[in-house]
Amino acid sequence: MSKLTALQIYRRMFGTPNDGLAAYWYFGTMSVQVEAFPVIPVITAETIMVYKTTTLSEDSFRMDWWEIGYMRDPVTGEVAETWTNPITGKTIPAPRKFEEGPATFTITADGPERLTIGLVQAHAHVLGVDVTISEAQGQVFLNQVERKIRGFPKQDGSFPEPGEPGAVEARTQLSVWADRQALETEAYPFSSGSYEFELSLPGWMGFGELQGTCLTRGIMRKAPMHERTNPIAWDRLKALFPERFDGEAVKPAWF
């Protein structure tokens, strides 16, 4: 592993070496797997998540995050309005947008190469967060697995609370990579990666008693707060969440 500690690697991959804000773009496709049927693509999600890094001590920092996103029809490319269930043949309203957070990670060093991570998240009961870090060919790799009781956005964009119908055991995996030299030397080191989010079938999809899973899989990309990494998604998010933008920069809700 590089001369950076695990705490420094985590902070520089997701946030900033010094206290400040960083943005991550997430682009993913949600599919469902229902017993005895093929995998069914449903919708795509395009979101911006903002991380605020705050130093707590030499061995610990907190990272607050907040996210806005919208659902896109995978055929037309427009903001989703409806979805047709191919098993029932029924066309039903689909979630158009959602806002998630606030949430707070607390990252603490457990020696130079190990981390203890706590997470408090609105609309979720967190069961655990595990992180591993490795290195190969000058690249640093971070893998984070989060286990929670939570739900998928409802048709109106809200989230079920733990204990309500639709809140089930869910698993999120973030796999992030970055150039080691960039992590060591740059003020805003770039990183990118992939993610998976898996849980039981949301009720609004209309599968009734059929059992199955819902899996969203996609890419992650770090960017400065003002960067229009995907101009089409940026303009749509700005139109859907005008109160969350300040001119040509994202304006986080709770920071």
Residue 255 pLDDT level (bands cut at 50, 70, 90)? low
Amino acid, res. 86: P
Q: What is the pTM of this model?
A: 0.94
The pLDDT of residue 2: 52
Contacts of 114 (CB under 8 A, 6+ apart): 6
Map residue 6 onto helix, strand or coil: helix
Average pLDDT over residues 215-236: 95
Nearest to 184 by CA among 136, 220, 140: 140
Q: Is 231 helix (H, G, I), strand (E, B) or coil?
A: helix
Domain boundaries, the chain: 6-243
pLDDT digits (tens, 9 = 90+) for 73-130: 999 999 999 999 999 999 999 999 999 989 999 999 998 899 999 999 999 999 999 9
d(CA 251, CA 225): 9
22 with 50: CB under 8 angstroms? yes
Which tokens sit at 233? 């998604």
